[in-house]
Structure formats: structure tokens, C-alpha cells
Amino acid sequence: MGDMLEVFLNEARDLLEQLEAALLDLEKRPGDRELVNTTFRALHTLKGSGGMFGPPAMAAFAHELENAFEKVRQDRAPVTPNLVSLLLQSADQIRKLLFESAGDHSAESARLAAALAEEVGMDGTAAPAAASMVVASAAVAPAEATRTWRIRLALERSALAFGTNPLSLFDELRELGTLSVRADADALPALDALVPTEFHLVFHLDLETAAPRSAIEDVFIFVDGPDAVRIEDIAAAPASAPAPVAEPVAETVAPVASAPAAPASKAAAPTEARSGDVPRADAHVRVSASRLDTLLDQVGELVIAQARLSALARNRHDPVLIAVAEEIDRLSGDLRDSAMGMRMVPIEQLFGRYRRVVRDLSSDLGKEIDLSFSGEDTELDKTVLDRLGDPLVHIIRNSIDHGIESAERRDAAGKPKRGSLHLAARQVGTEVQIEIADDGAGLNRARILEKAVAAGVVADGTVPSDREIDELIFHPGLSTAAAVSNLSGRGVGMDVVKRTIGELHGTIDIDTRPGEGTRFVLRLPLTLAIIDGLEVAVGETHCILPLTSVEECVELATVQSRSSGGRNFVDIRGTLVPLLWAGEVFGGRREGAIVVVAQNDAGKLGIVVDQVVGQHQTVIKPLSPLHASIGGLVGSTILGDGSVALILDVNSLARHAAKTPAAADSLAA
């Protein structure tokens, strides 16, 4: 049961996300029947699965939600913002019942159930169709209330592969009344062309029942496909009289269930009967993240072993060994790309969570905000995506609370009363760029500087640049909020953003215009497992610089250098780039021949090294606890000869270079 329970909980998480997304869409398009059906299917599945595997309290609560929403599905209750709010709160309550077993949640469940019943106009009894949703072995209603329904069921060919069992559907229909089944086998291909996992039968069903049409529709609620189910209401017929055939049926029929097959005429066969003419649907397998992590770790070890093999082949000058090494290089590269591709997920999964965040925050603050997305199909490593969730929440809350003005202030400023917040993502080379842009008032630099001076973060009388003032919002404990609230005012949040983005080896920039809005730009590596790096030599030590940060390499002797305020700069095509001697930073001498120009949060930095070895496929290994606190390092890797190389943190090196020579201490110390 442990494995089955884990599968249920994972499925429940997905269903709750689908339910939340459908409700948010339904609030904007209350007349969309497909959204109504999607919401009901999610509630129906949560109730059914919860009854088998979940806590009884969760299954009972989900059943109450389903009963209430049935009124909406029958067009007997409208979709209102208050109803959506109650259902969203109910989805949160289901999460608590599933994942927070400690504590008594019965009072909140009862409150929400009563509020929903009142909202949809329920009188305390179950909705008319609710009784038919619960499978029960009740007797068929009296004959005078019995009606005959004619059903045509044409499942898609891939139905069996996705777990649809027509026999279980027939069993559910029999619990509603008397059922007769006939099968049309004309579409069956020849035996040598038959694929066992593909479905080719069409069923014609006659059902005599007192249950309403909605109860029959509920049986087929998970049957997808165009024209897969057709239900017709015909005049009531005596129980002893055979029901007429709904449509022409093949003369050769395969009887299904216990009902005798009735003779029928030949039906038109589908134009395509062979399985090879139909594209196969992709099958999906749920794999735990830990298994993917293990796979990627093993691929990383393979990449290291392949690098050692390539180095060995080059040193021995053996053509046969070189050919084998090149083939292993190609195969390991393909395997690496496949393993990394398994971990890549669309950023839409992350963006979708913020619809609820924006809705709740805008409601709490009394602001009207339109949220929009672009680039949702951009893919990012799952590890990066998971770590990115909280930082984006902080930025979004900052934009809504501090950035976007109230409707009155926007109207006075000549802006639309509804504010806009846009989340965008796109891949740029080996990086993913994420933007969060609002059309609010922009950063109040005067107030930020005033708060920073009052807090002692900036010395009184100092005149920092606009960029430096903007960066102050990331300083711990600094807030421009007038009062502490449940949203802001304590000066925590944005510093977490800066720290987390740095830990992800990314950067964050701010572009703000007073009165027009603010744009946060995050640049992140596609993955944290294997990166492309530039191998450089500093004396006898080899180091790795992330290739995403490297712009170019120039010889130190070919460019002009100058000093200012105790710092050294190099002139590269008219741009002064501060220099940092890597050998000096790590406790050696100021020597070097090559300037590696790297991009960092503050601009550009020229790192002087002795030699550029070349591009290196870098498998990132964590530092030991002893070395993890050393600034300027983000990890280590193993080179082809088996030696260890340090991976340098360009942002930390830039901060080190900004110190005066007198105050600069080597990282080795």
C-alpha cells in the first residue's frame, strides 16, 4: 500500500493544481462548459481516489464539494467570484487534510461545506444528481419512472493503453438499471495486423433506468475523444419488449457481458483499420526526482571517465584508441543530453502557481491587476525550478505591494485603473532569462536612499549611482514600507531573492522608470549539474570559469592598462574593465598573460590568468564543509587527468576586486 499511497498523493497534487488552474480560468470565463467539466472531473477524481486511499475526512469533504458543484454543472447555480473563492479555499483545505494530518480540521471543513451549500442554493439535502454519483446497488425505480437511453460508445484506439476498461463502464451502467450491450466488430483488422493494445470495437447500449441523464454522463466523465459517447433519450418501453437497435450494427457481433447479442445489419467500417496508419500516443511514466538525480550523477561520472579516456588517447597517439575515445565521447554526450533533458520541465509549471498568488494579493490590497505570461514553454532544470519558486513570489509581492498603485492613484496619474504584471521567460544561449515587469510607479530612489542612510547602510552625504540605489532593496533589513503588515515592512524577502539567485549561479538586474514601472531580469543557468566551463591555469593550479559568464579573452600585453584609486583597469575597445590577478587573490604573485573578460552583477571584470587551456565540460561537485565557506568558489570538478579543479564564482571575485589593495585580503587566508 505504501507505493499505491505515494502514487495517490502525487496524483492528488497534480489534480489540485489542475483544479486551481481551472477555477482561476472559470472566474474569467464563467460560461465555459469545458472549464466547468474540467473542474468537476478534478473534484470527482479526488473524491473517488480519496475514498480508496485518502483519509476519510478528505474523501467526505471532496464529496461535499462535488455535490455543491453539481448544481453549477446542471446550470442551476451561477459561477460567481465568491464561489470561486470558496472553492479555492476548499482546495487549500484538501491539501491540509492530505498533507497536514496533525490537528483537527473538521471545523474548517464544515464551515466551507456550509458556505458552499449556501452559495449554490442547496437546501441541506443532496443535489438531485448527487445520489447517482455515489455507486450503490439500489433497486431500479418503479416502472412508470423508467426511461430508455440509447448509447453509442466508440473509444479511441489508444484507450486501453491509458487504462480505460469498457467492462467497468458497463458494470457502472448496470447499477443504474437494465443494460443490453451489442458490439460492432467491423473495424477489427486481420489477425496478423491486430495490435493487442489497440481498441477497434464500437458498442451500442440500451439502458433502462430511472436515473437522470447526468448520472449516465458521469459514468463516461473520463472518456475522451471526439464523438466518443453519444446518448439519446427514446420513449419508455415495456421491460419485456426488446429495444430497437440504435444504429446499424455489423452482422458479425461479439457479445459482451451476459446480455444476448441481437442481430443487426452491417455498418460502414472506418476508412482506416490498420494500426500502422494511426500515430501512437506518447506514453508517460512518473519517475521520482531522486532517481533522476542518481541517473545524472552516474552520467556525470561517465563524463569524467570519458575525459580521462580522451586525455589518455591523446597522450599515447594511438589511432585505434583515439577512434574508440571519440565514439565514447559521442555516446556519452548523447546520454548526457538525454539525462539532462529528462530533468528539464517547462517553466509554465512555475508560472501557473502565481495566478493564485496574484489573485489573493490583489484582493487583499484592493487592487485590480491583470497577470499575463509569455514564453511558458521555456524549459529549465527541475532543481533550478524548485529553488526559484520562493524568490519569484517575493518579487511578485514586492511589485504588487510597492510597485503597482491603487486604482485611485493610477486614475489620477492618467493610467488604466487595472495594473498589469507580466512574467516572461526565454532561453538565451545556455541561460534562461526570466522577467517580472509591472506598470507601477517604479522604485522611489529618494525614499530608498533615505531609509538606507537612516539604517546606516549608506554613509550620510554619500551620493551613490542610480544602479547602486536600486541594489539597496536587496540589503537585509531594509524596507521602504510605512508600516509592518502581513505582506511587507520587515525588510526580509528581497535579500532572500538575491541570495538564492546567487546560489543558483545566476544574476538579477533591475530596470526601473519613475511613473512607468519596474522590470526585474533574472539570468539563470539551464542546469546546475553539468555546465560548459573555460579551463584556465593560474600557476600550477587549474580553475574553471562558467562559460556563460565569459565574454572574451585578450592578451594582457596587447591592451593598455591604467591605475585609478589604487585599482588597475584595462582599456578594451574604449571600455575600462577593472582587473583582478587570480594568482594574487589565491595567495600567489601578480603574474599573468591572459585577461578573461567576464560579466558579473556589477558589470565586467578582467581576470588575469597565466594560460587559457580551453573549453571543458564541467561536472559540478560540491565543496567539502571545510571549503564551502571560502568566498570566490562555487564548487569543484575533476579534470581528465584525475586532478581537482576549482570552479570560480565571478560575482565574488568582482566584489573582491572592488576592495582597495590595502583592505583586500586573499581568499586563501
Give pLDDT tens digits for 443-463: 888 888 888 888 888 888 878
Distance, in Å, from the CA atom of 393 to the CA atom of 493, rounded to the nearest integer, reads 9
- For 253-396, strand residue ranges (E) read 344-346, 369-374, 379-381
> Which range has the worst mean pLDDT, 331-340, 407-416, 536-545?
331-340
For 164-178, b/e burial (b = at least 16 CB within 10 A) is bebeebbeebbbbbb
**For domain 143-262, is the CATH number 3.20.20.70?**
no
Choose from 74-83, 241-250, 630-639 the range with maximum mean pLDDT: 74-83
Identify which has the larger pLDDT, 486 or 151: 151
Rounded CA-CA distance 224/229 in Å is 9
Q: 563 - beta bridge partners? A: 568
pLDDT recorded at residue 372: 92
pTM: 0.63
What's the CA gap between 225 and 223, in Å, rounded? 7
Choice between 38 and 630, residue whose per-residue pLDDT is larger: 38
- Which listed CATH number (3.40.50.1370, 3.40.190.170, 1.20.120.160, 3.40.630.10) goes with 2-130? 1.20.120.160
pLDDT at 374: 93
Domain ranges of the chain: 2-130, 143-262, 291-345, 361-525, 530-657
The whole-angstrom separation of Cα 384 and Cα 523 is 12
Residues written for the chain: 669
- Which CATH code is given to the segment(s) 530-657? 2.30.30.40
> Could you tell me whether strands 419-428 and 369-374 are parallel, antiparallel, or unpaired per DSSP bridges?
parallel
> Rounded CA gap, 86 and 271, in Å?
49
Sorting pLDDT into bands at 50, 70 and 90, what band is 130?
very low
Identify the CATH homologous superfamily for domain 361-525: Histidine kinase-like ATPase, C-terminal domain (3.30.565.10)
32: exposed, middle or buried (Cβ count in 10 Å: 0-12, 13-18, 19+): middle
Asked whether 452 and 478 are in contact (CB, 8 A), the reply is yes
Longest dimension (CA), the chain: 105
- Low-confidence winner among 411-425, 468-482, 605-619 (lowest mean pLDDT): 468-482
**pLDDT reported for residue 135:** 34
Task: State mean pLDDT over 56-73.
Answer: 86
